[in-house]
Amino acid sequence: MDQSYKSLHENIDVNADFSRNFLCHCRPIAFKRPSGQMVEITEIGLTHPKYDGLKTIFAFDVTDGYTDYRICLDSESLDWYLEYEGDNNV
């Protein structure tokens, strides 16, 4: 499977559910890019914390069925950003 990724650091708005029943207590549902494009998340893959000094950033590998994305939640500022997008060759 050949995938091409585009590295970004794009601030996004995210609709998410928070519950103790979810891994990391958070499940992103959709996000809106600065261009106005709404992306509906159809599947969440790997979810993991990343560390930047004392700050924890939660990374979510997600897809809308066509494109793969990594969206991140900065636990200090509570800002979301799109780290990368890539082709999903299904």
CB–CB of 62/81 below 8 Å?
A: no
Q: How many distinct structural domains can be found in the chain?
A: 1
DSSP H stretches of helix in 1-90: none
Listed residue (50, 10, 43) closest to 27, CA to CA: 43
Q: pTM for the complete prediction?
A: 0.84
| β-sheet with 26-32: strand ranges across | 38-40, 26-32, 5-18, 80-87, 67-74, 55-63, 43-52
Residue 21's domain spans which residues? 5-86
| pLDDT value at 2 more than 50 | no
Each residue of 35-84: pLDDT tens digit? 999 999 999 999 999 998 889 999 999 999 999 999 999 989 999 999 99
Average pLDDT of the residues in 8-26: 84
